Structure formats: C-alpha cells, structure tokens
Amino acid sequence: MVSLKLHNQIVGIDAGELVGYKVHGHEYIHQKGSPGWRNSDTEMFPIIGPTIEANFRVTTPKGNAIQDQHGLLREMEYELVSQTKTKAVFSKIYVSGTQIKNSKFPAKSTEEYLAWPYDFEFLKSYEIMEKGLKIQFKIRGEEGMPFMLGYHPAFKLHSENVTIQAGDRTITLQEVLAAGSRALPILECNSITLLDIGGLGIKTEGFGNFMLWTEVPNMLCIEPISFYPYAVRQEQLHTGFLNINRMEKIFSVIIQPNI
C-alpha cells in the first residue's frame, strides 16, 4: 500500500489502484466491499467497450487483435517506479504479441488469452497538489500505434440528491441508472462537477469525453474517455482509435474537492 499526504489530503493506492482520497476526513472514493463495484478505479486500454459481438476481435493496422471488454491493460500488474511524500508513479510494460490471461474466461468469455500486436509502456502517476489530486497517464509506444484510453474511477456518494453538472446540462443519478451497462455519454466535454455532500470537480486533458455509470445509488463512476464505444458497432471499434505520435501521448485528470 502506498500512502501520499499533503496538509489535509490523504491518498491511498493499492497496486496502482486509487483506493482512497480523503480531504479533511471526507472520503471521495468508492470503497471495495461496498455495493456497486468490486474495484475503485481502473483503466480501459487499448480499447474501450465490449467486443463479444465482434468475436473478441479488434481491427488494427497489424491485423486483428484479441481483446475482451475494455482491453487487456487491467489484466496486467503495476510496478511502483518512484515515490515521494506527494507523488507516486506506476508502470505496466507490454511486449507485442504476449498472451495475457483473461480473467473473464470461461465464465464470461470464450477467449482464455488476450494479445496486442504492439509494444507499449503505460505510466500512471498520482500527485497531490495544493487543491486537488492529479492523475496522469503517459503512453509510450511505436509511432502510429492505435489505441483508446478510458479512466474508470468510482466515487462514493453521500446523499440521495446527487446531480452532475456538465456545461449547461444537469444530469440526475436516475438518468445514469437508467442508462444501464452502456453508460451515459457526455461528449465533447473536458470538465464535470459532482454535486453532492463534499462534492468535487473533475478537469481533464486529452480525453475529450466522459461517460457516467452506476447500478447503485451509493456510487458513481465518472469516466473520462477518448471515445464512446457505443457510438459504433463492435466490429467498427477501430474507427475510434487515436494514434501514438512522437512515441508518447499524455492524458491527465484533476480531481478538485469542494471542501
């Protein structure tokens, strides 16, 4: 377990996963074991969305890649690269063609192993700033590597009257619940506000979109995404790819508590 602290902000990280963010004792992160989701954060990479209707195949310039829902990165383990009192950096390194065991097999998938035809290094850092927590992602790979990126944090809800503000749009928790497994898209948006007891703002760079998901009233996933996967058929997921240029791509998320 890695702990970061600055003034009244305390961050807990378990094997690269954000498991706690307290400000003045107020917990913002969904706790494992609580109803809703067995995790508290993860990444969706190199694809976002389900692939079952495409026979778990995703088109790339190097041929079809075997990918399950939200990609293979979440099946890999982070290594701690560096740590200070206020910042920690984690890394995952993948070698092209390496078979990664699929945790969804056999209960939810016919594919026992997943693979991607490109090398990459995925760096995730947490840094407590004076007024918030910055999570940054650096993706290093060969020139032209296609990918999508989604960050999937879950926030603990503290009231029954939660709303989400995105520009001029106000979204109720009931709208998110009604969207179901497809999640509710908030497109062409770089910032969002959660209005709750001890609410927060989220500002992003590089993603361009959000989707909102939950199945319970005590938790909400506010997910920055580079592409909303349900905008196309699963066989066409590749139309939502970004590409690596100059060997590196950087994305960031800043969580700004209101207390």
Question: Is the distance from CB of 173 to CB of 163 less than 8 angstroms?
Answer: yes
What CATH number did the domain enclosing 48 receive? 2.70.98.10
Of the candidates 252, 258, 1, 4, which has an alpha carbon nearest to the alpha carbon of residue 128? Answer: 4
Residue 160 structural domain: 2-257
Q: How far apart are CA 102 and CA 43, in angstroms?
A: 15
Provide φ and ψ at 54, rounded to 5°.
-105, 20
pLDDT of residue 103: 95
Q: How far apart are CA 27 and CA 224, in angstroms?
A: 21
Q: Identify the sign of the CA torsion 21, 192, 246, 129.
A: negative
pLDDT of residue 247: 81
Question: Is the distance from CB of 41 to CB of 28 less than 8 angstroms?
Answer: no
- What lies within 8 Å, CB to CB, of 116 at 6+ separation is 46, 65, 67, 72, 94, 96, 97
In tens digits, the chain (259 residues) has pLDDT values of 999 999 999 999 999 999 999 999 999 999 999 999 999 999 999 999 999 999 999 999 999 999 999 999 999 999 999 999 999 999 999 999 999 999 999 999 999 999 999 999 999 999 999 999 999 999 999 999 999 999 999 999 999 899 999 999 999 999 999 999 999 999 999 999 999 999 999 999 999 999 999 999 999 999 999 999 999 999 999 999 999 988 899 999 999 999 7
Residue appearing with tokens 């009257």:
161
**Domain total in the chain:** 1
